[in-house]
Chain A
Amino acid sequence: MKGISVRLEGLTKHFGKVVALQALDLDIRAGEMVAFLGPSGCGKTTTLLMIAGIYQSTAGQIYFNERRVDHLHPRDRDVGMVFQSYALYPHLILFENIAFPLRLKRTPQAEIEQKVRQAADLLGIGHVLDRRPAQVSGGQQQRAALARALIKEPQVLLLDEPLSNLDAQIRLQARGEIRRLQQQIGVTSILVTHDQAEALAMADRIAVFSMGKLQQLATTDDLYLRPANVFVARFVGHPPMNLLEGGFENGHFTMGTLSIPVPSGHLKGGGSLGIRPEDATLDGEVPARVVVIEPLGRETLVTLRLGEMDFKVLADQAARPTLGTEVRLGYRRDRVHLFDQAGKRVAP
């Protein structure tokens, strides 16, 4: 099974007057796993369903390698899909659920038998193949859905929130399993999720969506270290980045009475400055008052009152301050993020 590349060009979807997806351009390399990450209603599932062929695009093209597929019925696209609800056929036993795509292709019984057993054993559900979906656990249902998606050896694997209905513990395990399997088979995969930890852990690259638009497509590291705009900066990372809104002038960022020197001296006008909680310290120069203390075990999340806004600092357990006292806020100068008035990253 060899993966293929997936290319989206100006892909657009309108539902009546609502624009669900606006002119999306995206290149997914062969064998890669890309996560579509974003809050609900951002267009990520819509995009997935258009790639699957379930939704018709309003405009734009979809290519698998160099073959244009957006006019094709789902059955002619050679994709496998795992749904958030798993969408297993409730009246069929797991064996028949997994065999379903092969039965439709009139595969010989012996081959079906062999392939289903193989896939089921690989996913550890060989012993429950004679049960109906309602008679097995959520984790087993999820694996059966994955087996069904992979059984016809698709060129593209689409995963729509495949883990969100699982218990936290099984979810961690399934995360690793899916990733390992995907790399083993080398199938080009798209994972839709609203859980950034899942996206960061599983995908080669992450496409962050918001309001029907692609905000950034990058590796985990790039996304974290160089967010393309204010949305990505706020959305990726936990606890989220602190964003101070103010203006740039003479090599300084000013917000109220606060003035911070910034590396890019040419900046002018309104904008914002971002500092991640882990890049901030409590031994700097900016005075702030401690309003909330949340011990997290290894670290302590300290919320400071800075002018008119809250500022979160991830501090060492040892450096835990006292509630209500005044501390001196500091930050790593090489780790500040600067955004212009429109929210676009300008430096560094």
Chain B
Amino acid sequence: MRRYSAPLVFLLPATLLIVLFFVAPAVTTLYLSLTDISTITFRHPSWIGLGNYYSLLRDPFIGRILLNTAHYVGFTLLFNVGMGLLLALLTSSVRERYGNQIRAVWLLPRILPPVVYVLIWQGLSREAPYGLISDLLGTSRNWITAQPWNVIVLANGLVGASFGMLLFTSAIRAIPQDLFFAAAVDGATTGQTVRRVVLPLLRWPILFVTAYQTLSLLTSFEYILLLTNGGPGFYTTTVWSLHAYQSALSNYFGNVQFGLGAAMAAVLVVIGIAVSLFYLRIFNFRALVGEPKVEIN
């Protein structure tokens, strides 16, 4: 025991933090999801087993919400990662000073409070003559009601792209200059260099950004909440996490169902884990961290 006391002491602070802010909430959520706790039954919740999960399955809108979630995560991710990559490639191919400036400007919305950012989008999306998008396209519409998904994906993706942009930029910078020289001497065009040398070497950061963004998009709903609040109409843009939030913390009837919301959160965790495993598989994680077989000759 003495032998392990020092390591244990060093591990204690981190362990405490993880237990307090990760394990405890997860266990609590799981526990709550197995009860009927709501505003009404708050003091005397009863154990209902998988009851909440059964009612999720019976919910007629659940398919719609799942599809919405897939749509939201899929398209935003595509835009996010694609745009991030494009920005990284473009800003690292121009002079460093200009690249830095472009990247700095692109980061601005990220340091803006989300509410202010969404207000700007609402302003941009209004009918003519007030909305800039209507002006530019020459068609007067409220674009949030006309094209809710496009606005949501753009609003999310434009901010989200900066994450990939920063990571990809530093990864591109880490590629030795000689490799670019060698590719040029070997006869590669710029396009071929990007496709055959740069992108394969960015596999790790692309995997990381894709996985990370998928998980954070699965649980993020603040822009949707502020832009459309799940509308227009019935569940048009309601995603899983927004639905969970509305069930658990805010609904029209005032009787919020903590238990049901917890069940939805638990499902989200399962989906997140499944998606992560899928990514690790298609990116061949094992090969990425494989042991080198060095032979001295």
- Verify that A and B bind, or say they do not: yes
Measuring CB to CB, which residues of chain A are less than 8 angstroms from any residue of chain B? 49, 52-54, 73-75, 79-81, 83-85, 87-92, 100-101, 104-105, 128, 131-132, 134-137, 139-140, 148-149, 152, 158
CB of B186 within 8 A of CB of A54, answer: no
A140 to B292, CA, bound (A): 15
CB of B295 within 8 A of CB of A137, answer: yes
A-B contact pairs, 22 of them (CB 8 A): A52-B185, A54-B185, A75-B185, A75-B187, A75-B188, A80-B185, A83-B178, A83-B182, A87-B182, A89-B179, A89-B182, A100-B186, A104-B188, A132-B292, A134-B294, A135-B292, A136-B295, A139-B297, A140-B295, A148-B182, A148-B186, A149-B185
Chain A residues, CB < 8 A from B297? 136-137, 139-140
Chain B residues, CB < 8 A from A49? 181
The smallest C-beta distance from B258 to any residue of chain A, in angstroms, reads 49
Annotate B214-227 by CB proximity to A: 1 below 8 A, 0 otherwise: 00000000000000
Chain B residues, CB < 8 A from A152? 186-187
Instruction: For the complex of A and B, list the 9 residue pairs with the smallest distance between their C-beta atoms, beginning with the closest.
Output: A87-B178, A75-B187, A87-B182, A74-B184, A101-B186, A91-B200, A137-B297, A81-B185, A104-B187
Q: Which one, A83, A91, A92, A132, contacts B181 given CB within 8 A? A: A83
**Contact count band on B:** 20 to 34
Within 277-297 of B, Cβ neighbours of A (below 8 Å) are at 292-297
CB of B200 within 8 A of CB of A87, answer: no
Q: Which one, A53, A73, A81, contacts B182 given CB within 8 A? A: A81
Is residue B197 contacting chain A, with contact meaning CB distance below 8 A?
A: yes
Is residue B150 contacting chain A, with contact meaning CB distance below 8 A?
A: no
A80 to B182, CA, bound (A): 9
A132 to B294, CA, bound (A): 10
Measuring CB to CB, which residues of chain B are less than 8 angstroms from any residue of chain A? 176, 178-179, 181-182, 184-189, 192, 196-197, 200-201, 203, 292-297
CB of A54 within 8 A of CB of B181, answer: yes
A89 to B185, CA, bound (A): 13
The smallest C-beta distance from A75 to any residue of chain B, in angstroms, reads 4
Chain B residues, CB < 8 A from A128? 295
A9 to B218, CA, bound (A): 63
User: Which residue of chain B is the closest to A104 with respect to CB atoms?
Assistant: B187
Q: Which one, A53, A132, A137, contacts B296 given CB within 8 A? A: A137
Chain B residues, CB < 8 A from A158? 185
CB of A52 within 8 A of CB of B181, answer: yes
CB of A101 within 8 A of CB of B181, answer: no
The smallest C-beta distance from A140 to any residue of chain B, in angstroms, reads 6
A73 to B183, CA, bound (A): 12
CB of A134 within 8 A of CB of B184, answer: no
CB of A53 within 8 A of CB of B184, answer: yes
Q: Which one, B184, B203, B293, B294, contacts A73 given CB within 8 A? A: B184
CB of A137 within 8 A of CB of B176, answer: no
Known: A89-B196, A91-B200. 5 other contacts (CB 8 A): A74-B187, A87-B176, A104-B192, A131-B293, A137-B295
A89 to B197, CA, bound (A): 7
User: Which residue of chain B is the closest to A86 with respect to CB atoms?
Assistant: B178
Task: Given A128-B295, A137-B296, A139-B297, decide whether A101 and B179 contact each other with a Cβ distance below 8 A.
Answer: no
Chain B residues, CB < 8 A from A148? 182, 186
Task: Given A90-B201, A140-B297, decide whether A105 and B182 contact each other with a Cβ distance below 8 A.
Answer: no
CB of B294 within 8 A of CB of A135, answer: yes
CB of A136 within 8 A of CB of B187, answer: no
User: Which residue of chain A is the closest to B294 with respect to CB atoms?
Assistant: A135
Chain B residues, CB < 8 A from A149? 185
A48 to B296, CA, bound (A): 31
Chain A residues, CB < 8 A from B200? 89, 91-92
The smallest C-beta distance from B225 to any residue of chain A, in angstroms, reads 42
A287 to B178, CA, bound (A): 55
CB of B188 within 8 A of CB of A54, answer: no
The smallest C-beta distance from B239 to any residue of chain A, in angstroms, reads 36
Chain A residues, CB < 8 A from B176? 85, 87
The smallest C-beta distance from B177 to any residue of chain A, in angstroms, reads 9
User: Which residue of chain B is the closest to A52 with respect to CB atoms?
Assistant: B185
The smallest C-beta distance from B195 to any residue of chain A, in angstroms, reads 11
The smallest C-beta distance from A93 to any residue of chain B, in angstroms, reads 12
Chain A residues, CB < 8 A from B295? 128, 135-137, 140
The smallest C-beta distance from B204 to any residue of chain A, in angstroms, reads 10
Q: Which one, B178, B192, B293, contacts A135 given CB within 8 A? A: B293
The smallest C-beta distance from B288 to any residue of chain A, in angstroms, reads 10
